Amino acid sequence: MKKSIVIRAFSASSNFLAGAGFLQSEDDYARCFDRARQYGFEAIQLFLSPSGYLGVESDERIAVSIARRARESGVELTSLEIEPFSFSLTCDDDAERTRGQATVRQALEIAAAMEAPGVLVIPGYVGLPWDPSAAPVRYDQAYERLQASLHALAPRAEALRTTILIENIWNMFLLSPLEMRQLIDDVASPHVGVLFDTGNVVQFGFPEQWIRILGPRIREVHLKDFRRAVGTIAGFVSLLEGDVNWGQVMAALEEIGYDGYLTAEVFPYPHHGDTVLAHTAETMDRLMKRIRP
């Protein structure tokens, strides 16, 4: 397994001057890559916004140049995360779903140009527990629409040799590992899999059970922790500080033969610079001792 982290964890790094913004140039990315190596991370998951220096509309030459800087720093790229809910594959609006598919296709092209193995795709939603203004989508229709979109997108992912990664999130949708497994099996493409998030299922289940049920369909793992007693989105906490049974999680990953990226989805501690990087690196080393020789 490889030790990875999301690039958004670097947004409070002391390498970025106050008020200068985040990831506004190739050099900004290079500083993140160098910082990752300093703390022992082998890979980084990048982030694609609708616009910005590296976004879904960016010139491919920018993406290629950023990937080159990662290689020069000795850092691998995992999946590219498309900004959550900047697109939808399940909503009631046909035009919006068409635009969502176009967004994923653009992201696949960028990932291929960067030689990144996958694109993280949020699978839409039935409801959003943190946003009561979001209009609910009928569950069966959301499933059918997502399935149809993945069937439509899979051939392009296969041609580019890049994988679409569906993540389990707080979306009142795909609530069971059996359901997630069935979705991936129904699409039946080697380039459609799962990015499994450990923390996102704790309120409703047990991550080690999901891992064993999904098995080889898991292509990347987000490491995240959560406290059930909080019960809201405020319950996400630093690794080892929540209710994830990390011994069981690591044992389950070992059982299914998982050898991909473990990507810490953590975010900066306000006003504490690189503290989150040091803390996360040390914590991941503790978790991975049972796996590495």
Residue pLDDT, tens place only, 255-283? 999 999 999 999 887 655 688 999 999 99
Domain segments of the chain as ranges:
2-288
The model's pTM is 0.94
Q: What is the dihedral of CA 46, 218, 147, 156, to 10 degrees?
A: 60
Q: Does the domain spanning 2-288 belong to CATH 3.20.20.150?
A: yes
Residue 47: the pLDDT is 94
Q: Take residue 1 and report the two structure tokens written for it.
A: 């397994």
Token pair 């982030």 in the structure block, residue? 47
* Structure-token pair, residue 182: 């069935």
Inter-residue contact 153 to 164 (CB < 8 Å): yes
Mean pLDDT of the chain: 93
For residue range 134-186, list pLDDT tens digits in order.
899 999 999 999 999 999 999 999 999 999 999 999 999 999 999 999 999 99
Residue type, 143: Y
Tokens of 129: 């527990």
Angle formed by the axes of helices 94-114 and 139-160, nearest 10°: 30
